[in-house]
A and B are shown apart, each in its own frame.
Chain A
């Protein structure tokens, strides 16, 4: 579980292409064992952020520390402690699943430590991502979901201390998605892997992440647990009731007080009472809408 040790430390990160800023002053942290979701609409800067942290992209300004090292100047020892799953891979089509995992694992053998056995045994890993039936199939014959699970397997073959997942469940069917979520939970709880994942799926962020950072237009617009986000931001609860044969709907920030008042005024005449708490989705939509409105006003 999350300890106090900061694994990922980003401060004042900026990225500029030509004259366009795609990241403005992005600041956040992740602690050891934490699952952090970077949530935002398309074009929000999620992939740029994650690529800078992976050491695949140079930043324009700001301080970045990943496992205590600046990824722009990191060496192979650091590389061995980090796992990367990108949005799209099509490589190694001729290789067989188990063969590829066993091969890529060999690069990690000399980076094993007393605490961490590297690499992950190929057969165990194939089983862990649910590809046992496909272990001896060629990679290019896998379905989209299977391919994605292989990508995840490649990402974790070196038993990384920090794992980057860029939109990991795109193209998954509901079963594959559930299995994937269980895998992420297992990695975080049993292996204490710190995980940073990007997604535009709210439901996924809520299920997987200990903490959610919402990125929009290259800025962080919110940072907290799913509950904190729902409470902090102007998500309104919805109250529905029937009075004198008439159906009523009202949105309110203070649903408890509102219902209390309702009963004080009408007592038993109120029927079919329903209170729906603001969901993360409402929160998120209102957030993004607010940012966009501000952007339009500027």
Chain B
């Protein structure tokens, strides 16, 4: 077998091992469950609040958006993991292994995407039972859900890797969460985007979170719900367009940025960052 195929397979296995690890230890399980459970609580209280004259509950409108938001958050997870594992030397270990960087990246994508599917399931399964007015009976819904999710991952994860290599410390990484939260706030997930000022609607439409949310809504909401969307359309073509654009951007940038970051890694830089983080604690 050629080295690249070996590394891809090793990466796939690596992803599965890491996924298993994160599902069998308390701290990680807590992280997996925290957001989905919190969101479930929110959805529960929103299930009877109706949105204007539309006849839909805010809960039903928000549930698919929350799925989209979770998917977008995988981007943050990716970038945080990358920063943390650069700090602890995992990346350098990958660099010291033949084709290790490729295996590492594939592993990360598999484990983060796998973890996301677990998170989504934790939220979606009880969520569907709690909230009425969702379309869950037709295979079409699940098919749409699947392609939007898959495309969303391809768009979000490489961008996450890029963001992860831009910040050199876990602390800088913490700042990243602010703009992401802002992006989520304006993305129309918690309240239909058409109730926001028009200029804000345009800003929101630049980022993948809105499109992920829209895609999820198109999958799970009945056709009548389209009335509260921009242009009263699910805009599948635009979803594909924007998410693909982000995916291409990420896939072009990620290898360049990662390679640059990897070139700078050495034992003493890892040791230096270790010293720094110890000082912070002390």
Residues of A within 8 A of B (CB): 47-48, 51, 54, 56-57, 76-77, 79-80, 84, 86-95, 99, 103-104, 106-111, 154, 158, 166
Bound-state CA distance A95–B7 (Å) is 19
Taking the closest CB of chain A, its distance from the CB of B83, in whole angstroms, is 14
Q: Are A86 and B92 within 8 A (Cβ)?
A: yes
Bound-state CA distance A145–B88 (Å) is 18
Bound-state CA distance A95–B100 (Å) is 16
Bound-state CA distance A91–B274 (Å) is 12
**A-B contacts, CB under 8 A, total:** 91
The interface size of chain B toward A, counting residues with CB under 8 Å, comes to 34
Taking the closest CB of chain A, its distance from the CB of B74, in whole angstroms, is 19
Minimum-distance CB pairs A-B, first 10: A86-B267, A56-B266, A91-B90, A80-B98, A76-B98, A91-B89, A79-B98, A84-B96, A90-B88, A94-B21
Q: A107-B100, A109-B6 are in contact. List 6 more A-B contacts (CB 8 A).
A: A48-B268, A56-B267, A89-B93, A110-B1, A110-B2, A111-B3
Surface stretch bound by A, among B10-18, B141-149, B154-162, B237-245: B10-18
**Pairs A–B under 8 Å by Cβ, sample size 11:** A47-B267, A48-B268, A51-B267, A76-B98, A79-B98, A91-B89, A91-B90, A95-B17, A103-B10, A103-B13, A107-B99
Q: Is the interface of B mostly helix, strand, loop or mixed?
A: helix
Taking the closest CB of chain A, its distance from the CB of B60, in whole angstroms, is 38
Interface residues of B in 81-137 (CB under 8 A from A): 85, 88-90, 92-93, 95-100, 103
Q: Are B10 and A94 within 8 A (Cβ)?
A: no
Chain A residues with Cβ below 8 Å from B268 are 47-48, 51, 87
Q: Are A111 and B267 within 8 A (Cβ)?
A: no
Interface residues of B in 265-282 (CB under 8 A from A): 265-268, 270-271, 274
Bound-state CA distance A91–B271 (Å) is 12
Bound-state CA distance A88–B1 (Å) is 33
Q: For residue B99, which residue of chain A has the nearest CB?
A: A76
Taking the closest CB of chain A, its distance from the CB of B279, in whole angstroms, is 15
Interface residues of B in 190-229 (CB under 8 A from A): none
Bound-state CA distance A292–B270 (Å) is 30
Q: Are A94 and B267 within 8 A (Cβ)?
A: no
Q: For residue B95, which residue of chain A has the nearest CB?
A: A56
Q: Are B89 and A88 within 8 A (Cβ)?
A: yes
Taking the closest CB of chain A, its distance from the CB of B176, in whole angstroms, is 22
Q: For residue B1, which residue of chain A has the nearest CB?
A: A110
Chain B residues with Cβ below 8 Å from A56 are 92, 95, 265-267
Chain B residues with Cβ below 8 Å from A90 are 88-89, 274
Bound-state CA distance A79–B94 (Å) is 11
Bound-state CA distance A30–B9 (Å) is 36
Contact bitstring B52-73, A, C-beta under 8 A = 1, else 0: 0000000000000000000000
Q: For residue A82, which residue of chain B has the nearest CB?
A: B96
Q: For residue A106, which residue of chain B has the nearest CB?
A: B10
Among B3, B85, B90, which residue has its beta carbon within 8 angstroms of that of A76? B3
Chain A CB count within 10 A is highest, among B3, B25, B90, for B3
Q: Are A88 and B271 within 8 A (Cβ)?
A: yes
Q: Are A107 and B6 within 8 A (Cβ)?
A: yes
Chain A residues with Cβ below 8 Å from B89 are 86, 88-91
Chain B CB count within 10 A is highest, among A76, A92, A107, for A107
Q: For residue A76, which residue of chain B has the nearest CB?
A: B98
Bound-state CA distance A104–B95 (Å) is 12
